[in-house]
Amino acid sequence: MSHKAGFVNIIGNPNVGKSTLMNAFVGERLSIITSKAQTTRHRILGIVNGEDFQLILSDTPGIIKPAYEMQASMMNFVKSAFEDADILIYMVEIGEQELKDEAFFNKIIHATIPVLLLLNKIDNSNQEQLEEQVAFWTAKVPNAEIFPISALQNFNVPEVFGRIIELLPESPAYYPKDQLTDKPERFFVNETIREKILLNYSKEIPYAVEIVTEEFFEDENIIRIRSLIMVERDTQKGIIIGHKGAALKKVGMEARADLEKFFGKQIHIELYVKVNKNWRSNVNMLKRFGYNQ
Ligand code: GDP
Ligand code: K
Ligand code: MG
């Protein structure tokens, strides 16, 4: 039986509904939805498995002009995510103009991969406005297939999903299917820690780590988590931990804050770091986390 798999990146301004759409696809709350802009600061993957497909979604941050250094590095991350993808979803909402970041917008209209332009929140519009908007976007992004949708009300969402599956390349699954369906919570914890590491350390560190959540124990009022951060070298271990443990403590505190919001429970999280010279060769997943290693 043939199998399809690929990476789909969802790009758009803050609050257009990217997380809502992703959650509608995934059916699990793997991404944080909030009306506050910039909650999702970089890609959080959601994965949808079918018998003969695997769809890997990333929810990229809102696109804004880099104003200070951290945002600039986030922008680089978004751009590399963009180049890794098999399919690009550019999401806009009713009444919105095109991206202010011109260079980025140019990449979209000159993309060599399929682009689906999702015109979201059409539940907020009337027929006349909708037609006018479709005409506007058809002219703006001529290479895109345009789908008017309501992510919130699931209108036209199954059709978009079906089109994505059609466009996915033939490929074996990138992630083990059973592991993900077994333990989505652990997967989410790993991604959250990964995000904090990405935000707190210089470039090569996030590429050198592997995160394994060894314990996820949910009680009535508290979730107890223990996660291992695996690195390849002693020097990396030192950097991760930081002076008197300060750097690791910061990662733990930031991850805990996000996880408490996500799970709606008090979180106790313990992070520890171990050197394992061979983890990279142990991980036989090709495009893990979308990085081309
Ligand atoms: P993101 O920043 O692009 O990830 O946007 P979110 O998914 O967090 O959504 C931002 C806000 O828009 C939330 O309050 C959503 O409930 C709302 N929203 C998302 N999709 C729709 C939609 O189709 N219709 C309407 N009316 N609101 C939506
Ligand atoms: K948001
Ligand atoms: Mg979001």
Largest Cα–Cα separation, the chain: 63
Check if the interface score ipTM surpasses 0.95.
Answer: yes
Q: 185 pLDDT exceeds 80?
A: no
Tracing tokens 């006349």 back to the chain, one arrives at: 128
Of 18, 152, 153, the one to substitute when testing ligand 1's pocket (max ligand atoms within 8 A of C-beta) is 152
**Among the ranges given (34-48, 157-171, 183-197, 232-246), the one the predictor scored with the smallest mean pLDDT:** 34-48
Q: What is the pLDDT of residues 47-59, one digit of tens each?
A: 787 888 888 777 6
C-alpha–C-alpha distance, residues 171 and 185, integer Å: 26
Classified by CATH at the fold level, domain 4-167 comes out as: Rossmann fold (3.40.50)
Q: 263 pLDDT exceeds 70?
A: yes
Query: Residues comprising the binding site for GTP?
Result: 12-19, 59-63, 120-123
The answer to whether the 4-167 and 183-290 domains have the same CATH topology is no
Residue 1: pLDDT band (50, 70, 90) is confident
Region 117-123 average pLDDT: 97
* Token pair in block for residue 226: 């223990």
Region 38-47 average pLDDT: 48
Question: What are the sequence ranges of the domains in the chain?
Answer: 4-167, 183-290
Of 13, 25, 33, the one to substitute when testing ligand 1's pocket (max ligand atoms within 8 A of C-beta) is 33
Is 46's C-beta closer than 6 angstroms to any atom of ligand 1? no
CA 212 – ligand 2 centroid, Å = 27
Alpha helices (H) in 4-51, listed in sequence order: 18-26
Is 121's C-beta closer than 6 angstroms to any atom of ligand 1? yes
Sign of CA dihedral 32, 211, 46, 183: negative
C-alpha–C-alpha distance, residues 224 and 37, integer Å: 29
C-alpha–C-alpha distance, residues 248 and 284, integer Å: 27
- Is the CATH number 3.40.50.720 carried by domain 183-290? no
Is 281's C-beta closer than 6 angstroms to any atom of ligand 1? no
